[in-house]
Structure 1
Amino acid sequence: MATFTPCPISSSENRFGHADVKSSATVLDSALSLSAAVDLLSMRGISISERVLRERARKLGAYRQIGRTIFFTPEDLQKIFEPTASRNSPDTLAEAKAAPAGWRDMPFSKALAAYRDSGKDARFLDKLLLHFQEMKLGDINNVSMSHASQSIYPGRAPATLRRQLYVPVSAIINFVKDNRLRAPKGGGQRTVFMTPDEVEMLIRAAGKQPSAFLAPLITFLVGQGARMGETLSLRGNDVNLSARYAILRDTKNKQERTITLIPRVVAALSLLPTIGNDGPVFRRFDGKEFKERKSRGGQIRNPFSYAVEQAGLSDEVTPHICRHTWATWHYAVNKDPLLLKKEGGWLSNEYQRYVKSAPCGLAESIVYHGWGFSTL
């Protein structure tokens, strides 16, 4: 891998040619925008796109940010392009797992980089890095976390603070040293689900996208309650529309499950050319297979999120919310917890959370919009 050596700025003269009272150039004197950094690297014989440079910089925490604009110092570019061996020897993981006595003095940025390098969940980390930066881990306590919640997520619900602030910060600190923080009270397990009107808006928005598979996929998720991994691994020759069933073979608990297809799902799937074929039922707009990942829907996340935005729905609506929606609707119509457990493929008692979540009038609205769960 090429090594980038930044051109130093004179310690006695700044870029405007005036004497500098400081011994080195300030950050702004040497700052480079994303496009300027790409141009400079190109002049040095290093070809890299803005997207790749941005992703690599964020992964390493080697960038500065004002609002939504990111920029670089020569030191940031040096860190991005230094050989992998020098980054990992002694790598950040080894430093993070050093003697417990030193964990309090470790900068948050270094702990975050170590956490990222270990392959942990990287969601929500960019905002944390921007806020805490070089703060020592030992200085992060419940007072500073309260300030962080007001600065990063003002006015957000306790559940959001728990999920997007307290859990990742605690995970980073616990990765280095077990010192668990106290998350705010309240906001425990929440069952978020869509109303029938919201689902109709989401499906209509999905139908306007280039992919002919997205609207049927959302219909399947809401109508059958399958997990995303189970859905994207469903094969065309495991679907029988005339007999109204599908076989989910790659399930979370490793047990095959046969589900009964409701009429609306049958109608949606009948439009797809993949039914009956040996290959995945649901595909990308270009006909290629999706690659399902554990983090918020994998490759389906972007088109799904765009449909959510176009439908005017909350950003809390993720692909997995479709499963919550299905379970809530299923019980609201059938009032049969054992059937819900069987169709949902639960081995635990988690299905019980949906038994009390359906508000009055929901069942009538579900039936009115044509979701025939009562025919299962």
Structure 2
Amino acid sequence: MPLEIFRRGKVWHYRGTINGRRLRGSTKTADRKIAERVKAEVEARAWQRHFDGPGAGLTMAQVFTAYLDAGKSDRFLLKLAAHWKDTPVEDIQAEMIRRAAKKLYPSANEPTWNRQVIKPTQAAINHAADLGWCPRISVKRFPENPEVKTPVTTKWVRAFHAQATKDDLPHLGAICLFMFATAARVGEACRVTWADVDLHSAMATIYLFKPKPWSRVAHLPPEVVAALANIPSNRKKDELVFGYAVRGSLRCAWNNVALRANIEPLTPHCCRHGFATEMLRKGFDVKTVAERGGWRDATTVLRTYAHAIEDKTVTNALFGTPVTQRKTKKRTKN
């Protein structure tokens, strides 16, 4: 709506929207005629900025370029830039971005649409807005009801490793133990080379490249060291420890081993989930679990990986009575 003036106390203020940009402020006068002139000047400057300012003719391609030039993450931007191309930013509406999410990833679900389209597109446009090029944009996220993953247990991991060893798949059994013991993501584990592993010191360096490159050093328990030592290899520094180039290359073998071991068909990521859950259950504080597992934010561990114990008799522990832990109740995100 066009600018209008309104009175607050003795002073007149203005408010309204010019080409999608919300304006609000004080005229700093109690004289209505002067306030009307101030309002008109503000409105004129806003339109001039739109037509002649840095944002005039601004395209999405320029927005993404400026975003990357500022050192922001390039994650998911290539596909977005190819989709929007030279679309004028002034033509972009929130609902268009929501529709683009479904078009770009038709087989995906709500969390993917939010993470890979809505969030980065909105971030890029709002970065341009911070530069004074265009108005900010707010896009309603799709409601999420993510699938809750079941964490692996030590018993599950040992059964998987035993079956993989029986099937002459030492690499697969070892990567399972490794992910459970270090909370490494499957992609991180696949990238580990022998140069990253020191069996004598029982340490491994794990690298994460997205959204920002960083690394951490993880301790290897004796059971994991033994599994790694039993992998047939020449131990060349640039050789992949587990022999899987990408995470998808182990999926089929992983599922088959779980089936033959007669255990629940859990995914590799459930090993990371299991690390957090088991460490919390054994009484380690959240901060320690987050640092040892490579979570930068300890609240993520509680929000995503903590599980409540169903057994109501756990309160017996207050009086020193033994408690038998039963099934866990999965926590879902609202």
State TM-score, norm by structure 2: 0.49
Larger strand share, 1 or 2: 2
Larger Rg: 2
